[in-house]
Amino acid sequence: MDKVVNSAVRIAFIYAVFSGLWILFSDFAVETFIDSANLRALAQTYKGLIFVFVTAMMLLLLVYRNNRALEKTNDLDGLTGLYSINMFIRSLDKSIRSLHSHEQIILGYLDIDDFKALNETIGFDRADMFLRELAADISKATLAGSVTARLHADQFASFALINTDEAFDMDDHVLSFQRLFAKRAKHNGINVTCCIGVALYPTDGRNAKELMVSATEALEIAKKQQNAIQYHDRVLTEKAMQRRQLVLDLRQAIENETLSVVYQPKYNLKTLAVSGVEVLVRWVHEKHGFVSPADFIPLAEDNYLTSAISKFVVGKAAKELAGAGLLNGILQHISINVSATEFNNIDEMRVLAKFIKSLEYFANYVRIEITETATLTDMSQSVDIISDLQQSGITFSIDDFGTGYTSLTMLKDLTVDEIKIDRSFISEIEHDERSKTIVNAIIVMAKSFGVNIVAEGIETEQQLSLLQNMGCEEAQGFYLAKPMPIEDLTRHIKQLNP
Ligand code: C2E
Ligand code: MG
Ligand code: MG
């Protein structure tokens, strides 16, 4: 700001001095050297024109010089004196355009691991000093013709030209930056590491922007670990791009309500009547066709879409089941799957509970299925969430029981209403005595806790009769019925539960 004010004052000052002098001296010269009145009038006119022309030229020159100076300060990073991001892009672009056929460009991004924590532990001044010294090290160490910049707070970029006719150890070149970083950190007594993402021109991008995107993607992958180096890999990027597109499509599908739900019946093993249903979400993608929830739920979890999906599933199931006249006591429970991240977010669970409660005719049927791994992160919070929602009449089930590491701890600490033995055990009970013994033990234990027990994934008649003999209360599986749309479910229930 000071610079702007100073340069404006300077321009005004030069203008005032020049104009004042011009008016004084030119009038004096006209009065002194020109006698004729006509010539004097003419001289006054031309004098004015000359004044306008000369001042215009001067202003042009001053403004041009000022702008250049401003541009120069924008081209450099204030803290380190390295190039700024804009200047870096321009230089990279220029180098790409003037590249010879025997040359390649190697672009590296270096990002400090957990810089925020570093700032907090050593303070901003020491962190700034570290960045300045690191910048000096990096610019000293780069190859001839290379350009270095500070892109963001703790992110540096450097590109260099490689002569493909000569031997060049790329790994060593990249590692040298990490070594240099470690040396500087050690010298400053700081315990910190960095990650590096690397992209190559022309393999990883056709212009500066594309190459920089590739380096960012490589860095993103490296940042999943610490002290890591990642070269850009087309396959990885294409996968990342497909994933991104799939997330966009999923978001669209949720907004446009083009997802749907199916129902898999749950049977009472004594009567073989339908006792409940599990609601399963379905997504038929315009291009890829059926996408399994096992694939898109994890995507939804990473992109904060699970609560929108749950809301959709609950809303849709409530509407369809009520519309089909199935909420009249035939079904005891309607099971809804809640994903791990959603379950661990107490606010999201409250919002979901509120929504369920707002559907009064439906709320009492709802049983929330949580997978064992979902409750792992914070057991005491899980206990709180479950008991809080149980007070509203919602019941809980542990899905895929036996697959996590906490099965018994969960039974000890959580007052759930149901346990679903994972399919992996059920599929083995015919042939594997140990699986059979485990299933038997789970059934006995669940019963002694007064918890309802469901076997998942029954695929054969023999599995069914074994479970019946073991005293398992309920079962679900392809042998009994596959997940089906509401029309088929209505027909199925009317046949079985007349
Ligand atoms: P899950 O909750 O354990 O659901 C049971 C899955 O096993 C379903 O797969 C079902 O079709 C399948 N299945 C049932 N019986 C059998 C059988 O006899 N044999 C075999 N091989 N499979 C059987 P689906 O629908 O593909 O769902 C996969 C998982 O995706 C679910 O596992 C659940 O964790 C999740 N999921 C499904 N719908 C939702 C939803 O609306 N929200 C959330 N958060 N997750 C969901
Ligand atoms: Mg389930
Ligand atoms: Mg399951």
Q: Determine the distance from the C-alpha atom of residue 236 to the mean position of all C-alpha atoms in its chain, rounded to a whole number.
A: 16
* Per-residue confidence (pLDDT) for residue 413, from 0 to 100: 78
Ligand 1, pocket-test mutation among 260, 261, 280, 282, most atoms within 8 A of CB: 280
Phi, psi of 344 (to 5 degrees): -80, -5
First to last CA, the chain: 83
- Show the DSSP H helices in 152-305 as ranges: 170-187, 208-222, 234-255, 293-302
SS (H, E, C) 106-158: EEEEEEECCHHHHHHHHCHHHHHHHHHHHHHHHHHHCCCCCEEEEEECCEEEE
Q: pLDDT tens digits for 167-181? A: 888 888 999 999 999
Atom of ligand 1 nearest to the CA of 261: 41
* Per-residue confidence (pLDDT) for residue 199, from 0 to 100: 94
Is residue 208 within 6 Å of ligand 1 at its C-beta? Answer: no
Helical (H) or strand (E) element with 196: strand 194-201
Ligand 1, pocket-test mutation among 263, 296, 297, most atoms within 8 A of CB: 297
The answer to whether 492 and 481 are in contact (CB under 8 A) is: yes
Phi, psi of 382 (to 5 degrees): -60, -40
Strand ranges (DSSP E) for 300-413? 333-338, 366-371, 395-401
Domain spanning 256-496: which CATH class is it, in words?
alpha beta
* Protein residue with its CA nearest to atom 16 in ligand 1: 457
The two beta strands, 229-231 and 260-268, are unpaired
Strand ranges (DSSP E) for 269-394? 274-285, 289-291, 333-338, 366-371
Is residue 309 within 6 Å of ligand 1 at its C-beta? Answer: yes
What residues flank ion ligand 3 with Cβ within 5 A?
399-400, 456
Is residue 315 within 6 Å of ligand 1 at its C-beta? Answer: no
Q: DSSP letter at 372?
A: G
* Per-residue confidence (pLDDT) for residue 47, from 0 to 100: 83
* Per-residue confidence (pLDDT) for residue 415, from 0 to 100: 86
Residue 57 structure tokens: 């030229």
Which regions of the chain are under pLDDT 70?
Answer: 1-4, 67-73, 234-238, 373-377, 405-406, 497-498
The answer to whether 34 and 43 are in contact (CB under 8 A) is: yes
What distance in Å separates the CA atoms of residue 263 and residue 492, rounded to the nearest whole number?
A: 11
pTM of the model: 0.64
Is residue 399 within 6 Å of ligand 1 at its C-beta? Answer: yes
* Per-residue confidence (pLDDT) for residue 90, from 0 to 100: 92
Residue 357 structure tokens: 């409660």
Atom of ligand 1 nearest to the CA of 483: 11
* Per-residue confidence (pLDDT) for residue 406, from 0 to 100: 66
Which residues touch 234 (CB under 8 Å, ≥6 apart)?
203, 204
* Per-residue confidence (pLDDT) for residue 134, from 0 to 100: 95
Is residue 265 within 6 Å of ligand 1 at its C-beta? Answer: no
* Per-residue confidence (pLDDT) for residue 295, from 0 to 100: 93
* Per-residue confidence (pLDDT) for residue 210, from 0 to 100: 92
- The single-letter code of the amino acid at 348 is E
* Per-residue confidence (pLDDT) for residue 230, from 0 to 100: 93
Residue 371 structure tokens: 């997978």
Q: pLDDT tens digits for 431-467? A: 999 999 999 999 999 999 999 999 999 999 999 999 9
CATH no. of 85-236: 3.30.70.270
* Per-residue confidence (pLDDT) for residue 33, from 0 to 100: 85
Phi-psi label, residue 145: left if phi above 0, alpha if psi -120 to 50, beta otherwise:
left
Atom of ligand 1 nearest to the CA of 458: 18
